[in-house]
Amino acid sequence: MRWQKQTESFFLNEEELAAAQKVFFPSETVRYDGGYPEARKKKVIFSLEGEDDFSDIVCLMAEIDNRFRPIGHRDVLGALMHLQIDRHSFGDFWVDDSHIYLYTNATMGRFLCQELNRIGSHSVSFSVIDEHPVQVFRTRTFEKVISSVRADAVVAALAECSRADAKDLIRRGLVQLNHVTLADADEVCNNNCTISIRGSGRFVLKEVLRKTKKDRCVVEFEQFI
């Protein structure tokens, strides 16, 4: 397929990205960009042959004083929703001790620089920056002893619930495996797969370390915190 002009999608979440990547394979004319390589939300960009640098993604930054009444992720999201901004119009955003960073497109960036001037009780002023900073995720590593690496057993261990409750979480569409809603409680979780459980968090099954004398699995997990 040849594109007649450069074009791009809106920002896709991880489940949407997983579906898109099954149809649009990365190539000279198809690439995925969220502003930095490790971005969780990205656009699929369809470029003309030989023109692979097309992107209208910009990074906004606002300085804040987070010492006394901290701004959190929910505060920023709430402010964006208050402005009736569609979630597909912006990519990753995060808050550190002194800054808010937000990826979006150039047009929305201009709008937010003008209109997003308050988050919670904080006055803020966003501007476009030349740098494209990378979000750093904090994690913790821990071990669990589980009966098997079937999805329901893994979810039960991570959500600290019974196997029956784990199956109910899966049935209700509250569990994702590698960013796709999990449909089968019998599915096997392999090394380095990502398990997201609504209300419990996001985890990576790193590896099965060993088997116990009762043939149970000692598994190392990583949790994003």
Model pLDDT for residues 97-132, shown as the tens digit of each residue: 899 999 999 999 999 999 999 998 889 999 999 999
> Which CATH number characterizes residue 86's domain?
3.30.70.330
Q: Are 91 and 80 in contact (CB under 8 A)?
A: no
Residues 48-66, mean pLDDT to the nearest whole number: 83
Strands 99-105 and 57-63: antiparallel
Residues 34-46, mean pLDDT to the nearest whole number: 95
The reply to whether 144 falls in a domain is: yes
Q: What is the pLDDT of residue 1?
A: 46
Angle at 112 between CA 9 and CA 20, to 5 degrees: 15
The reply to whether 134 falls in a domain is: no
Q: What is the pLDDT of residue 205?
A: 98
Is residue 49 predicted with pLDDT exceeding 70?
Answer: no
Is residue 48 predicted with pLDDT exceeding 90?
Answer: no
Crossing angle (nearest 10°) for helices 151-159 and 163-171? 110
pLDDT level of residue 57 (50, 70, 90 thresholds): very high
Q: Mark whether 123 and 153 lie in a shared domain.
A: no
pLDDT level of residue 7 (50, 70, 90 thresholds): confident
Which tens digit of pLDDT belongs to each residue from 158-192? 999 999 999 999 999 999 999 999 999 999 999 99
Q: Mark whether 41 and 62 lie in a shared domain.
A: no
d(CA 148, CA 189): 9
Q: Mark whether 115 and 154 lie in a shared domain.
A: no
What is the share, in percent, of the chain residues with pLDDT greater than 70?
A: 96
The reply to whether 52 falls in a domain is: no
Angle at 27 between CA 22 and CA 29, to 5 degrees: 110
Structure tokens at 134: 């990378």
Q: What is the pLDDT of residue 121?
A: 86
Secondary structure (3-state) at 193: strand
Q: Mark whether 165 and 215 lie in a shared domain.
A: yes
Strands 193-197 and 118-119: unpaired
What is the share, in percent, of the chain residues with pLDDT greater than 90?
A: 84
The reply to whether 2 falls in a domain is: no
pLDDT level of residue 218 (50, 70, 90 thresholds): very high
Structural domain span for residue 220:
139-224
126: amino acid identity, one letter: F
d(CA 176, CA 59): 28
Task: Please state the pTM of the whole predicted model.
Answer: 0.84
Q: Mark whether 165 and 147 lie in a shared domain.
A: yes
The mean of the pLDDT values for the chain is 93
Q: Mark whether 178 and 159 lie in a shared domain.
A: yes
Q: Are 100 and 72 in contact (CB under 8 A)?
A: no
How many folded domains does the chain comprise?
3
- What share of residues in the chain are helix, strand, coil (percent, to 5)? 25, 35, 45
Which tens digit of pLDDT belongs to each residue from 69-92? 889 999 999 999 999 999 999 999
Is residue 219 predicted with pLDDT exceeding 50?
Answer: yes
The reply to whether 51 falls in a domain is: no
